Amino acid sequence: MNMVNELSQLIFPQRCIGCSQLGFLICSSCRTSWHPHIYKTHIDNLEVTSSILYSPIAARIIVAAKENNEKNAQDLLIEALRNILKAYRGNIQTLTFVPIPSSKIAQRKRGRNFIKELCSQLELRYADILFHERRVRDQSGLSAKERSKNLIGAFGVEKLPRIFGEIVLIDDVVTTGATLREARRALLASGLRVSAAITACVAQPLR
Ligand SMILES: [Zn+2]
């Protein structure tokens, strides 16, 4: 370790993103909760592939990446998505990813569109064509039914670019699937068929 690193370790000691324990980027106990795997769920007939089971630790990592712009946490999300993309090996060039957009308020607050940024860091071919047509309530704390109602007509499609190959939606978490369902509806209304979706995490939906 060089002097600068040693100094910065003294001044800003590394803490686990999951539990704030001093020492590692992610400690071995949190690592067991953030363990890339392949999970398939279905939203109607849309296949969603995810990498991590959502947990309080996963929630902290996502907030750190999304709201606090912590590079280490973003790297964990990228690692989770890469794990899924490995399964697309061979035909990834035939896909166009469509990122689920952050709300305008969140984009302004964060100064960026989070999922779009992940797409570009993953060097995926993507089309940033979805936008929020209207204001929606924060989804956390809403039931499955409320979520789907909250999102009816939420997304619009910006412009119709030439889309190459199949369209795959990409987001950080899938819970009830209301967001992915609405994104698919909006794209279909513009004549674009979605063939699959990937998300870093999959959460047990609230009933
Ligand atoms: Zn930890």
| pLDDT per residue as tens digits for the range 53-84 | 999 999 999 999 998 888 999 999 999 999 99
**Which pLDDT band, with edges at 50, 70 and 90, does 39 fall under?**
very high
- Radius of gyration in angstroms for the set of CA atoms belonging to the chain, rounded to a whole number: 18
In a domain, 19, yes or no: yes
Which whole number is the average pLDDT over 121-137?
Answer: 90
Distance 77 CA to ligand 1 centre (A): 16
Judge if 56 and 76 occupy the same domain: yes
pTM: 0.88
Judge if 5 and 63 occupy the same domain: no
Judge if 24 and 109 occupy the same domain: no
Distance 5 CA to ligand 1 centre (A): 21
User: How do residues 84-94 score in pLDDT, each as one tens digit?
Assistant: 999 776 678 88
Helix axes 114-121, 71-87, angle to 10 degrees: 60
At residue 133, the pLDDT reads: 86
User: How do residues 158-176 score in pLDDT, each as one tens digit?
Assistant: 877 677 789 999 999 999 9
Judge if 123 and 189 occupy the same domain: yes
At residue 163, the pLDDT reads: 72
At residue 7, the pLDDT reads: 67
**Per the structure block, which two tokens stand in for 105?**
């308020």
**Per the structure block, which two tokens stand in for 60?**
């902290």
Percent with pLDDT over 70 in the chain: 91
Give the angle 18-85-36 at the CA atoms, nearest 5°. Answer: 30
**Per the structure block, which two tokens stand in for 43?**
């939203």
At residue 159, the pLDDT reads: 74
Q: Which residues surround ligand 1, an ion (CB under 5 A)?
A: 16, 18-19, 21, 27, 30
- State the SS3 of 145-190: HHHHHHCCCCEEECCCCCCCCEEEEEEEEECCCHHHHHHHHHHHHC
Judge if 21 and 75 occupy the same domain: no
Judge if 177 and 153 occupy the same domain: yes
In a domain, 82, yes or no: yes
Distance 171 CA to ligand 1 centre (A): 24
In a domain, 207, yes or no: no
Amino acid identity at 93 = Q
b/e string for 107-119 if b means 16 or more Cβ within 10 A? beeeeebbbbbbb
Judge if 61 and 134 occupy the same domain: yes
Distance 71 CA to ligand 1 centre (A): 17
Question: Does the pLDDT value for residue 206 go beyond 70?
Answer: no
In a domain, 8, yes or no: yes
In a domain, 150, yes or no: yes
Give dist(CA 101, CA 115) in Å, integer.
7
Question: Does the pLDDT value for residue 5 go beyond 70?
Answer: no
CATH number of the domain bearing residue 147:
3.40.50
Judge if 1 and 79 occupy the same domain: no
In a domain, 161, yes or no: yes
Distance 1 CA to ligand 1 centre (A): 23
Q: Any idea what DSSP says for residue 131?
A: E
Distance 21 CA to ligand 1 centre (A): 6
Judge if 82 and 3 occupy the same domain: no
Judge if 52 and 119 occupy the same domain: yes
Judge if 120 and 71 occupy the same domain: yes
Judge if 106 and 197 occupy the same domain: yes
**Which pLDDT band, with edges at 50, 70 and 90, does 148 fall under?**
confident
Number of structural domains (the chain) is 2
Which whole number is the average pLDDT over 23-45?
Answer: 91
Show the domain range for 15: 1-32
